[in-house]
Each structure stands twice: as C-alpha cells, then as structure tokens.
Structure 1
C-alpha cells in the first residue's frame, strides 16, 4: 500500500518539463487510456486527475475524436461522462460475429420499455401514479426487473398518504439509451402542444427510444433496487 501511494505521489500531472506539443499528446493518451479501461462513462472530475490544471478537457476530447474519425469506434458524451463506443454502421458486423447487441443486451418487453420511458419523463413517480397513466396496475415484477437491470432506483418518499416509494432513472438508463442527461429526452409538453405526442401514442409504443447501435466497450450492471422499494404500497 505504501509503495502504491508513493508511486501516485510521484505521478507527474503537469508535465511542465515537456514541450507543449508532447505534453498535449501525453494528456490525450492518458485520458483515452482511462476511458478505455473503464466499464462505465468517465466523468470530468476523474479525468482531471491525470491532466494539468490548465488543460481544457473539451479541447482535448475534440482532438481525440478527430483522431478517431476513421476508426470503427468513437468517444461519446453520455450519462455525464465519456465512453468508447463502436460506430453505428458496424453494429451488424458486431452482431454477426459475436451476437453482441442481440440476446445478451438488457432486453425489455414493450410494456417494460413503456414504463421505463414514463418514469424517465415523470420522475420521481410512484407505482400507483404509473398505473394512473397506463390505466392499469403496474406489477411489482415489472418494477423489480427494471431495478435489477439497473435502469431505475428508488427515489424519495412521496408526500402522498402512506409515503410510498417513488422511482427515478439511473445513469445506466442514460448510458444504455445514449443520453448525456435527462434534458436530452424530447420535451414532453412541447411534443403534446405540437400534436406530435399523446398518451395514446405513448401507450402504443410510438415514442420509444431505440438503441443507437453503438456498443460500449464493456458494461457493468448497477445494484438492484433494494427490496423495500419493490414492496411499496
């Protein structure tokens, strides 16, 4: 442990002795290596640990993306961080060779997908409130499955009588559907006002976010919903 700590203390972040061009190239390599090694999107604060104080991560990312322009993968901004993902046009080749992107993905039924989308728009939302949107009770099994996949988690207690649990989406939801933040979801009210969306269209599955075809290098499932959140009501 002491040797590891000493090594970290000797890690040169600023690289002040290097010429500017070499320093920039080293920072690019460090950042890309950290992102490549991570199974999840890597945030700005994490990447800032391996570059100098005056380094612009946005400019650095732009240069890395420029270098990857002809490669089959890219750096995408998703779930509040950056992640390596293969480009859409290679999705069929990946599925043909490995099967990735088909049965091994976190498959959702249409009903589960619609519930997940509804939680994304109206979170924090209780199971009873979800039932009111769909006109029928949403089963605990549906909520539990979405939790086990890491797409939703228990939110704050509702002020309604009995203080039932609410549900919210997770960073894994953003990552899976290629959103950087929840602001990337289409504005629900504007879609309604423009006549592009209605409850009937939602229930018919006409506003489903689809997989982009981009495959992250790896994915690590989040923790399940705690048991108490499934047993609300």
Structure 2
C-alpha cells in the first residue's frame, strides 16, 4: 500500500494500473489496494481519485477556500463561450466528429477560430481522418479534458437524456439555433472557467 500511495503522491500525472502493477506485481489486486488506501484517507482533506485513466491524490472540494486563502490561486482560467462549451460537449459525446458534422448538427458553420481556441486550451485534438470524401480531420477530447472535468473515462460523462430531463439541455433549442447565435465566430463569454 505504501509503495502505491507514495508513487501516486509523487507523480505529476495520474498513475495508471500498468505502472502500479509494475510496483507491486501482477498478482496483487490494484483495486483492493486502492480501496484500502481510500479507507485510510477517510476523514483526511485529500482523497485518491480515479481520473484520466489513472489515479491521483486530490484535495477535497470542501477545503478549496482554505487553500486559496493560504496560497492563492495558481489556476490559469480559460474562459469558454457558450458556443465553445456546447461544441466541446458535442465533441465529447459524438467523437470522433468533423467540423462539418458539428456544423450540420448546429445548423450553422462552426468557425475555425472556435475549434482553434478549444485546441489551444488542450481540450480537443485531431482524431483519425474521416472516411468521408476529402478525408477531413475529426476531433476528439484529450486526456487534459478528462483531467479538467475530473473524469476517469468518457463513460463518466453525464447521461445525455438525463441532462435534457434536468432542463440543462434542450435538443430542440440547440437544433433551432436558439442556444448559440455566436457560433460562427462571436465570443460572448459565459463565464465558464476551466482550470489549467
């Protein structure tokens, strides 16, 4: 347990199961070790979290204000427009997806600048070339996307229909163009900050 916890603690990136298996041997159950470590951390201000295909020590959200008060914020915020958030959501749910497919989905052209901003933030990357005529590039989410949103895998994304049921997403408004008038290039900031 100590070797696994120390390795995860010292790593700057999430540590995958393969790396942990090299430390403790393939016959040892990584899941049981992680469960035991989590049990020991109960009540502590940090926990061991599965994120981006590996494990990482993270402080509990209840201590965020205290940490900011003591050491300030080292976060570099990326402001995303409403259009960028929705395009990022579509890439996450329907990847790999081309810019043309995104444009068809929204009923208006998705600008290259919008895609460039998401790429520059490290949230999306080029995927495999599409098998459609012209072999356009596709876009996929990145490991950075998983890290920023605290997801272990894309399976951890909220259920699409549950978002609609909760009133957080309206497919009809989205397809009617009522949600993203600035899609083709405007940059109305909706105040979504992504930690880098």
Question: Structure 2 length normalisation: TM-score?
Answer: 0.79
**CA separation in 2, counterparts of 1:148 and 1:169?**
12
The residue aligned with 2:106 is 134
Q: Is the 8 A contact 2:78 2:193 kept in 1?
A: no
Q: Is the 8 A contact 2:80 2:193 kept in 1?
A: no
The residue aligned with 2:153 is 181
Match of 1:67 among 40, 53, 60: 40
Superposition misfits of 4+ residues, deviation over 6 angstroms: none
Q: Is the 8 A contact 2:106 2:174 kept in 1?
A: no
Residue 11 (structure 2) pairs with residue 31 (structure 1) = no
Q: As a proportion of its length, which structure holds more strand?
A: 2
Residue 126 (structure 2) pairs with residue 154 (structure 1) = yes
Q: Which moves more between the two structures, 165-174 or 52-61?
A: 52-61
Q: Is the 8 A contact 2:79 2:193 kept in 1?
A: no
Q: Is the 8 A contact 1:76 1:85 kept in 2?
A: yes
Q: Is the 8 A contact 1:176 1:211 kept in 2?
A: no
Gaps of 5+ in 2: 181-191
Matches within 5 A, 1:1-233: 28-100=1-73, 104-188=76-160, 197-199=169-171, 200=173, 204=179
Deviation at 1:195, TM superposition (A): 8.3
Q: Return closer, same or farther for 1:108/1:96 CA change in 2, 3 Å cut-off.
A: farther
Q: Number of residue pairs matched?
A: 181
| CA RMSD, Structure 1 to Structure 2 (Å) | 2.8
**CA separation in 1, counterparts of 2:46 and 2:193?**
16
Q: Is the 8 A contact 1:155 1:167 kept in 2?
A: yes
**CA separation in 2, counterparts of 1:67 and 1:118?**
39
